[in-house]
Amino acid sequence: MSERSILKEDFLKRVKIIVGSRFTDDPRILKVYSRDFWPLLTLRESRGDELAMPLAVAWPKTVEEVTSLIKLCNEFKIPFTPYGGGSGVTGAAPCRDCLVIDVKAMNKIIELNEEDMYVTVESGIMIKKLEEYLNSKGYTIRHIPQSFPEAVVGGLIATLSTGEYSTKYGGIEDLLLDIEVVTADGGFIPLREKIVPRTSTGPNIKKLMLGSEGQLGVITKATLKIFQIPEYTSKNTFVFNSFEEALAAAREVMLLGLQPAVLRIYDKDEAALRFNEDRDLAIFIIEEWSKALLDAKESELRMVMKKRGALEIGEEYVDSWLKKRFDVISDVVKLVVPLGLWFDTIETAATWSILPKVYREFKREVKMIKGVNSVLAHASHFYSTGGCIYFTIVFEANEEVYWRVWEKAMDTLIKNGATISHHHGIGLLRKKWIERELGESLKYLKKIKRLFDPNNISNPGKFMEWESSEA
Ligand SMILES: Cc1cc2nc3c(=O)[nH]c(=O)nc-3n(C[C@H](O)[C@H](O)[C@H](O)COP(=O)(O)OP(=O)(O)OC[C@H]3O[C@@H](n4cnc5c(N)ncnc54)[C@H](O)[C@@H]3O)c2cc1C
């Protein structure tokens, strides 16, 4: 037996001492952890290609077990990767020869504070389970990503995610009050003793975990804001003369402070697929805790739409979106695979002044690529300063076309001043473009990683990985 194999065996024995039977190195289970939902990995898997396999999976139940696992990884210089729901779409979680630290056994609700309106949970709780629990008590977290059935709280924080109701309630960064972390060097950053609504006590090191994608350590607990379930809801759909005209209306809605919970603008290509309706349209959900406020917002919304020449067509499409919203990807797969096609989604954000140009140029440039079948778009997640556009690209199922699409897409976004990701994150997929996006700050992120992770073992090969020459 080689020295390396003896070392691995020793390591795995010690992992088993820490977590007991909550461990596996069964290749059939490791295969599940060799990918997330990155469409390139699922394409490769569908062809029977070998994916990068982890070494083993451990399911710790306590912060002490996570700490012991990370200390062990440092001792043996064996990499580890935190793993949540595995619903990431960028290849952020898979990691060759790593110990997978799957946090899903750490799934307790620690405290629901109904007076101060927050909940503290272990990071492995599924967002759906948490929402169901809160709903049973009359509350909601209102963080409902399309991956609601799969994602867990730690993964949502680590990828800087947004939910479908973010236009009113914000992204995960707006909901997060506090966090507990086992750092990549085996250190520990606990929760505050008492939660505070805000603090001005220097840079908040814990916020570095937002978007860290498993590269700084493992998030073990989080405290998140909660809301009472809104009592009053109104739903409506408006048809526009163009996608750009709908974006202009969205700007007006946001500047008036109407803050719909959901505002989604579909271009006619995507509307045709989703609603069988060949027109640019926008669906709205307004929700409030006071009927008077809801009525006032609804009537203001109608005025803006009328002024913009939009045609009101009622609730039907909102209801159909609510019904189908978690099945969208499987619906696309069913449509494209039998035709020898594949797909990916690319989400971006830009300010109002450039959003229409980003939409037009992205569609034009990507559609021209040989092998691309169609480019659909919707805009969702709005701010006073701009919004997010989410493109779905359907193309011939081969890797060459895949990378041509991504090269052109990233280049178009960067040249136009849009971000390369609004909420899916970086993973292996966008690593190539992260320097163009972040510039000098990437250098400092790598220095921070070196501080947290002196052995470079926390989810290696991803965008914050440092070289000795860089630090
Ligand atoms: C159908 C579908 C719809 C989606 N819709 C949305 C959407 O609406 N909005 C959105 O934002 N995203 C969406 N996504 C992307 C994805 O679900 C999110 O990025 C989600 O946040 C990932 O959570 P997860 O628990 O599955 O994380 P994983 O995929 O398990 O991990 C993602 C990254 O986080 C790290 N990580 C996981 N847990 C921890 C932890 N405890 N500590 C430190 N690092 C950790 C991993 O190492 C990895 O780098 C969608 C994905 C799919 C497949």
pLDDT averaged over the chain? 96
Residue closest via CA to ligand 1's atom 49 equals 213
Query: Which amino acid makes up residue 138?
Result: G
Residue 104 CA to ligand 1 centre (angstroms): 13
Q: Residues near 365 by Cβ (< 8 Å), separated by ≥ 6?
A: 408, 409, 412
Compute the distance from residue 82 Cα to the ligand 1 centre, in Å: 11
The DSSP-derived string for 13-36 is HHHHHHHTTSEE--HHHHHHTT--
Q: What percent of the chain has pLDDT over 70?
A: 100
Q: What ligand 1 atom has the least distance to the C-alpha of 218?
A: 42
Q: Counting beta carbons within 10 angstroms of the beta carbon of residue 61, is it exposed (0 to 12), middle (13 to 18) or buried (19 or more)?
A: middle
Report CA(111)–ligand 1 centroid distance (Å): 24
Q: Residue 232 pLDDT > 90, yes or no? A: yes
Q: Which helix (H) or strand (E) holds 280?
A: none
* Protein residue whose Cα sits closest to atom 8 of ligand 1: 145
Residue 23 tokens read as 């461990």
Which ligand 1 atom is nearest residue 36's CA? 29
Ligand 1 pocket: which of 63, 83, 128, 220 to mutate (most atoms within 8 A of CB): 83
| Burial per residue of 250-283, b for 16 or more beta-carbon CB atoms within 10 angstroms, e otherwise | bbbbbeeebbbbbbbbbbbbbbebbbebebbbbb
Structure tokens given for 49: 């290609």
If phi > 0 it is left, if psi is from -120 to 50 it is alpha, else beta; for residue 44 that is alpha
Confidence label for 471 from pLDDT (cuts 50, 70 and 90): low
Residue nearest to atom 10 of ligand 1 (CA): 161
Ligand 1 atom nearest to 93, measured from its CA: 48
Alpha carbon distance 36, 92 (integer Å): 8
Distance (angstroms) between ligand 1 centre and the Cα of 88 equals 4
* pLDDT value at residue 36: 96
Q: Which atom of ligand 1 is nearest to the CA of 181?
A: 42
Complete DSSP assignment for 252-297: HHHHTT---SEEEEE-HHHHHHHHS--S-EEEEEEEES-HHHHHHH
Distance 174 CA to ligand 1 centre (A): 17
Q: For residue 469, what pLDDT is reported?
A: 72
Q: Which amino acid is at 443?
A: K
Mean pLDDT of 91-113: 97
Q: What is the pLDDT of residues 317-334, one digit of tens each?
A: 999 999 988 887 777 778
Q: Is the dihedral of CA 94, 457, 175, 230 positive or negative?
A: positive
pLDDT in tens, 145-177: 999 999 999 999 999 999 999 999 999 999 999
How many CB atoms are closer than 10 A to CB 361?
A: 16
Tally DSSP H helices, then E strands, for the chain. 17, 18
Mutate which of 161, 173, 180 for ligand 1 pocket (most atoms within 8 A of beta carbon)? 161
Cα separation, 158 vs 82, in Å, equals 10
Residue 373 host element (H or E) = strand 372-382
- pLDDT at site 7: 87
Going by alpha carbons, the residue nearest to atom 21 of ligand 1 is 156
Q: Can you give the pTM of this predicted structure?
A: 0.97
Cα of 389 vs centre of ligand 1, distance in Å, is 19
- Taking the C-alpha atoms of residue 143 and residue 172, their distance in angstroms, rounded to an integer, is 7
DSSP character at residue 50: P
Using the atom order of ligand 1, give the atom closest to the CA of residue 87.
26
| 3-class SS of residue 234 | strand
Q: What is the pLDDT of residue 5?
A: 85
Element (H, E) at 290: none
Q: Which two tokens stand for residue 331?
A: 């619906």
- Span 80-100, average pLDDT: 97
Atom of ligand 1 nearest to the CA of 37: 53
C-alpha 362/C-alpha 374 separation (Å) is 12
Specify the amino acid at residue 297.
K
Q: Taking phi first (over 0 means left), then psi (-120 to 50 degrees means alpha), and beta for anything else, what does residue 199 get?
A: beta
What confidence score (pLDDT) does residue 470 get?
A: 65
Distance, in Å, from the CA atom of 191 to the CA atom of 416, rounded to the nearest integer, reads 40
pLDDT value of position 3: 78
Find the residues whose C-beta lies inside 6 A of ligand 1.
Answer: 36-37, 81-89, 92-93, 103, 123, 145-147, 150-152, 154-156, 158-159, 161-162, 213-214, 218-219, 329, 423-425, 459
What is the position in ligand 1's atom list of the atom closest to the CA of 329? 1
Residues 323, 315: contact at Cβ < 8 Å? Answer: no
Measure the N-to-C terminal CA separation of the chain; round to a whole number of Å: 36
Taking the CA of residue 214 as reference, the ligand 1 atom at the shortest distance is 44
